[in-house]
Amino acid sequence: MSRRHELILLVTLAMIPFGITSAVYNASAAEIAGALGLSADDTSWLNIFYILTQLLLLPLASWLVYRIGATAVLAGGAIFGLGSTLILGFTTEVAAHFLAWAGLGVAASAMLVAVQVLVLRNLSLRDIALAEGCMMLMTTLLPMGVYPWIFAELAESGLWQLLFAAQTSLYVILLAWLWMRPFHGEDKVLPVRFNLLQASLMAGAITGAVLLLMRGQFYNWFDSQIVINLALSTIALSLLCVLAIKKHWGRGEFIRSDVLSPNKNKVSMYNAALAGFAVLGTSMLIGVYLGSVLNYSHSEQGWVQLPAFASMFLGLLVSIWVSNHPKIKADAVVPVGVLLIVLSSISLASSNAASGASDLLPALILRGFGVGLLNVTVSISILSSFKREHISQGVGYFYLFRTLGGLGGMALFSRMMSQEASGVLNVLGENFNPDNPAFIRQQSAMVEVLNNGMLEATQARVAHLLAGQLQTQTAAVAGGNNFHWFIVSLFILAPVLIIGKKWAAKKT
């Protein structure tokens, strides 16, 4: 096996635990909460810790690559991952689990940055496309299309810890590989001094942003003074961070100021954020619709979305093919992916409480192809465009902006869902009064349902059925309206990207 093929296999193996971990929480949160004796809100902090440490480590991992090399960072991340999965797989100590989830975030970012640097520095454009496709398969496509069903089935059988225990073998294999077959395609490490001031400001800004986006809903967003203060603090820290990097405050270096100096790179970061916004935003809306309207379990939701994996994989193959044909520009392919996601959202917006899986399947397949096409094409085109000296921190910036864009989409639509549900409930609730003919007909239908089931049609039972119908109808209408809002938001955000690309092209 040639060293380039070995490297592709190595980075693919390294990304398998990342993909597994990213899908475990959504599929197993309830079972984890039950096993640890935590409330749903307390359990959500496991995911927050994971995302927070992941984002905090992205710039630090980029700096460490300059300082100690990508291979050492990859090995360090694998050690963190091994220790964390041992804790999660074989203990039920609450404090240890919180620490271990944070450790998984450290491992994810360290390994992600390291493998991307190894790929981008040592492979040709053709091999980069193949490597990126393999990594995207492990980190995005499988977690979105296959893992949810498998993991939910295991979680419902009480085997969620097996998902972590199984990862230990992957980390052991990876560490053994790095020890027995060390990779020497490294750039010379640089004795860069750590800039504590810049790192502290960036860490504060990232922490504020993550807490704001992932906990704002708990405090009803800006109705709470806590959220207002957090938002103002985050903005202030972000501005100070930008100034510190641009003006070279502090001693040493943490983030190079020239990485985003080219206008093309600035636009690329917006592109990355928009891709994260589109993919994770629609994923959340679909998950809410399947769970709240169709009342599907996590296992059933995973099963319904399995066909979408096939279309995502097809989109990935098309993206790799496009990347290997320079005559076809990525800018011509990305709009196609966005259009497919918009068309699928239009179809999903027309769904109602009577819709079933078969009604949603065409839209899910269409969206899957769009996601595969968009995600992979954007990743390959942006990551392969950085100058060699900017690769490490360019990778960190890319994943930072993409993740924050995704969190922003989820936060926005969770807020919109709450507002839409409140408004819809008020409108539908007006029909629920004893004098309304529609209410009388619906009440009679519920009585008939109970009688057909040989149950006494008591007031409590009828009221329970009517309340359930009201809740389902509310979720269905609010969900459909949110898909409309998603479409509107894309029509607002996408032109900004187009204008930005033209602006960057004129400046070069």
208 exposed, middle or buried (CB, 10 Å; 0-12, 13-18, 19+)?
buried
Give the pLDDT confidence score for residue 457 in this predicted structure.
Answer: 60
Q: Is the per-residue pLDDT at 100 higher than 90?
A: yes
Give the pLDDT confidence score for residue 468 in this predicted structure.
Answer: 61
In a 13 Å sphere around the CA of 437, the CA atoms on its Cβ side amount to 0
pTM of the model as a whole = 0.88
Per-residue pLDDT tens for 468-481?
665 666 666 666 77
Percent of the chain clearing pLDDT 70 (strictly above) = 84
Per-residue pLDDT tens for 124-156?
888 888 999 999 999 988 998 888 888 888 888
d(CA 430, CA 201): 51
d(CA 381, CA 379): 6
Give the pLDDT confidence score for residue 450 in this predicted structure.
Answer: 61
Give the pLDDT confidence score for residue 473 in this predicted structure.
Answer: 65
Cβ neighbors of 97 (< 8 A, separation 6 or more) are 36, 46, 87, 88, 91
Contact call for residues 504 and 264 (beta carbons, < 8 A): yes
d(CA 306, CA 26): 16
Q: 253 forms bridges with which residues in the sheet?
A: 194
CA distances from 233 to 208, 226, 308, 329 (A): 7, 11, 41, 41
Q: Is the per-residue pLDDT at 371 higher than 80?
A: yes
Band (pLDDT 50/70/90 cuts) for residue 290 is confident
Per-residue pLDDT tens for 163-194?
899 899 999 999 999 888 877 666 667 777 88
Q: Among 82-86, 258-262, 363-367, 471-475, which stretch is predicted with the lowest mean pLDDT?
A: 471-475
**b/e for 181-196, b at 16 or more Cβ within 10 A?**
eebeebbeeeeeeebe
